[in-house]
Amino acid sequence: MSNQTRMNVTVTEVVEVNSLIKRFRFVREDGGAMPGFSGGAHTVVEMDDNGTRRLNAYSLMSDPADSSGYEISVRRDDSGRGGSLFMHKGVKPGMKMVISQPVNLFGLDLRARKHLMIAGGIGITPFIAQMAQLDSLGHRFELHYAARDADLCAYGAELSARYGERLHRYYDVEKQAIDLANLLKTQPIGTHLYVCGPKGMIGWVLSTAQKMGWPKGALHSEEFLAPPVGEAFTVQLSRSGVSIDVGPTQSMLEALEAAGIDAPYLCRGGACGQCECKVDAAEGEILHYDHWLSDDQKAAKTHIMPCVSRFKGERLVIDL
C-alpha cells in the first residue's frame, strides 16, 4: 500500500555544518547509481532507534546531476520526538541504512521566466538542489535566504561564492529583513515564487504575494511537519476490525505500522495527501495538523491524515 521502493544505502560522510546542522551522504550498498531526481525532491530515511522505527522526510540537497549519492542536511531538534537527535547522535560513516526512492512535492515549474526563491533557516536545502539544476539549465533565478546569524546560515558563504549576486543573505541578529513588498513588486511577468522555511515565514510570503495579485499557479511552498506529540488515544479500524493504541509521542501512522498494517504514506509530514483516511465515526475532537485537507473537510470530521493528526475524545473509527 505504501508503494515505496526502498533502497539499501551506506552512510559515507557525516559532516558537522554548524552547531545545529549535520550533513549526511548516502551511496547505494550495491554500488549502483542513485535514481535520478529533480530539485525539490525528498527522501524518507528509516531509522531504528533502539527498537523504535522512525521515518523522517528530508529534502535532497545534492546536485541532481550527481547520481553517485544523495546528500541531506538535518537540523537537530532537541525538543522533537527524536528522529533528528538519532541522526545527529546515532548515525556514523559506514552505517547501513534504508531510504526511499525520491519523491518531489516541491518541483520547479520550468515554464517560468524567472524563479524567485525565499528560504528560512534549514529551508535552504531543497533550493541548493534546485539552484544547481537551474544553473545547469541556464534559467534565471535569485534566492533570498534568512537565518538567525552567519553561523546558522548554513552553506550561505559557499552559495554566495557560487552564485554571486543571485544570492541574498539576511541575518536576524543584525536586524536585516527581506523587503518582501518591494521584492514582489519588481518581478517580471512569468516569475514563479518558491518558499521553504518556518510556518510563519511561509504564511507571510504567500499571503503577501496573494494580496499583491500573484496568481496561485505561480506560488509554491513546502513545509514538512514533524508529527506533534499529544495525549494517547485509541483508533478503531472498521475494515480490519482491530483497535490500535496510539502513544503520546507516536503518530497514528506509526502506531498502524507498528501493528503490522501497511497504510499508505508518502511524505509523513501532512503535505502530500497520500495517507488520507475516511473517518467513519468521531465522537470527540479530531486534532487536524495537516496542510492537505480543506477547512470544510476538517470541520466536517469526514477525513483524517494519520501521519500528523491526532484525536481527543470517546471513539474514533477510520476506514482502513
Partner 1 sequence: MSQTQADDVMKSRPLYGRLVPKQGSYHFIVADGEGGEAVASLLNAAPDMKPRAHIIYIPGANGTDLTGMVSGLGARVFHPAPSYASASQRINKVLGDAHMGLQLYAAGTEGLIGQVQRDAMAAGLPHDALTTEQRGSLARRVQCVHCKGITENVTLDPFVCAHCGLNLFVRDHYSRRLAAFQGVCIDAEDPGEVPPSEERFK
Residues near partner 1 (CB under 8 A) are: 109, 111-114, 184-191, 211-218
Residue 144 C-beta: closest distance to partner 1, Å? 15
Q: Which amino acid is at 180?
A: L
Residue 217 C-beta: closest distance to partner 1, Å? 3
**Cβ closer to partner 1: 92 or 185?**
185
Cβ within 8 Å of residue 286, ≥6 positions away = 279, 298, 301, 304, 309, 310, 311, 316
Residue 86 C-beta: closest distance to partner 1, Å? 40
CA distance 314 to 319: 17
Closest-CA residue to 44 (of 3, 1, 102, 105) = 102
**Cβ closer to partner 1: 110 or 300?**
110
**Cβ closer to partner 1: 134 or 275?**
134
Residue 201 C-beta: closest distance to partner 1, Å? 19
Residue 186 C-beta: closest distance to partner 1, Å? 6
Closest-CA residue to 20 (of 97, 122, 105, 107) = 122
CA distance 134 to 185: 23
- The answer to whether the CB of 257 falls within 8 A of the CB of 287 is no
Count Cβ atoms within 10 A of the Cβ of residue 32 and give its class: 0-12 exposed, 13-18 middle, 19 or more buried. exposed
**Cβ closer to partner 1: 57 or 108?**
108
Torsion over CA: 168, 171, 175, 177 (sign): positive
Q: Which three cell numbers stand for residue 47?
A: 531509522
CA distance 45 to 252: 18
CA distance 41 to 27: 17
**Cβ closer to partner 1: 109 or 231?**
109
Residue 194 C-beta: closest distance to partner 1, Å? 13
Residue 212 C-beta: closest distance to partner 1, Å? 5
Pairing of strands 233-237, 310-318: parallel
- The answer to whether the CB of 106 falls within 8 A of the CB of 37 is no
- Say how many Å lie between the first and final Cα of the chain, rounded: 11
**Cβ closer to partner 1: 166 or 315?**
166
**Cβ closer to partner 1: 212 or 281?**
212
**Cβ closer to partner 1: 50 or 186?**
186
Q: CA dist 84 to 23, 53, 147, Å?
A: 12, 13, 19
Residue 183 C-beta: closest distance to partner 1, Å? 10
Pairing of strands 103-104, 114-120: unpaired
